[in-house]
Amino acid sequence: MEDLQYRKTEGILYSHFRRKKRINRIKYDIESTKHSIHKIQQDLQNVNIELSDCMKAIDYSQDRVQSSSETVSAMEREMERITDKLLNELTYKVQKKFKLNARLRNIEAQVKRIQSVLDELTEEEASLIELKYNGLKTYRQIAYDLHCDVATVKRRKDKLIEYIASELE
């Protein structure tokens, strides 16, 4: 087996396990975003809006004539501003959720191809690959975990890399 193909296959395996970890993070982000969307929708539905403390109440101690031609009160403007802000945040979160779902589908498709090859391995072969490329363990640590010699681990790994490379072509 060529050295370039060998290194490329090892890179594919390292990337595979990184992608599997990334899938879990993206799923967590999707759930978190769904929760945020639900919370914003609840706030909008229940009009759960806090107005700023600087809003002034009507002062009845003085006689005043409204000289403004504006028909919307400051309170209504503040409520509109807060509602618009919540709607913008909701739009952003929904777009974020769609982007995360698209990224998840893309990564899952990449993982599925390599996982199908790894699923064909025996349990011992799969654990060797898992320990080396996901656990990032040394040959000595893998040999200790699998109860065999370091040379045996290297030889088995080389055979597995060749097999995986041939299956991925």
111-123 pLDDT tens trace: 999 999 999 999 9
Q: Which two tokens stand for residue 75?
A: 């309170």
d(CA 25, CA 104): 10
pLDDT of residue 26: 97
Percent of the chain whose pLDDT exceeds 70: 85
pLDDT of residue 162: 94
Q: What are phi and psi of 53, to 5 degrees?
A: -70, -15
CA dihedral 49→55→60→63, nearest 10 degrees, is -130
Q: 9 with 165: CB under 8 angstroms?
A: yes
Average pLDDT, the chain: 87
Does 60 map to a domain? no
Does 87 map to a domain? yes
Nearest to 128 by CA among 150, 163, 151, 156: 156
Does 116 map to a domain? yes
Query: Residues 69-98: what's their mean pLDDT?
Result: 85
pLDDT of residue 62: 63
pLDDT of residue 45: 85
CB atoms within 10 A of CB 132: 22
Does 57 map to a domain? no
Does 97 map to a domain? yes
d(CA 137, CA 141): 6
* Cα distance from N-terminal residue to C-terminal residue, the chain: 13
Domain count of the fold of the chain: 1
Q: 111 with 117: CB under 8 angstroms?
A: no
Does 62 map to a domain? no
Q: Which two tokens stand for residue 26?
A: 């993206």
Residue 136 predicted with pLDDT over 70: yes
Residue 94 predicted with pLDDT over 90: yes
Q: How confident is the model at residue 97 (pLDDT cuts 50, 70, 90)?
A: very high
* Burial of 91: CB neighbours in 10 Å, binned 0-12, 13-18, 19+: exposed
Q: Give the domain extent around 28.
A: 3-49+75-168
Residue 139 predicted with pLDDT over 90: yes
pLDDT of residue 69: 62
146-158 pLDDT, tens digit per residue, is 999 999 999 999 9
Q: 9 with 161: CB under 8 angstroms?
A: yes
Does 108 map to a domain? yes
16-70 pLDDT, tens digit per residue, is 999 999 999 999 999 999 999 999 999 888 877 766 655 555 556 666 655 656 6
Percent of the chain whose pLDDT exceeds 90: 67
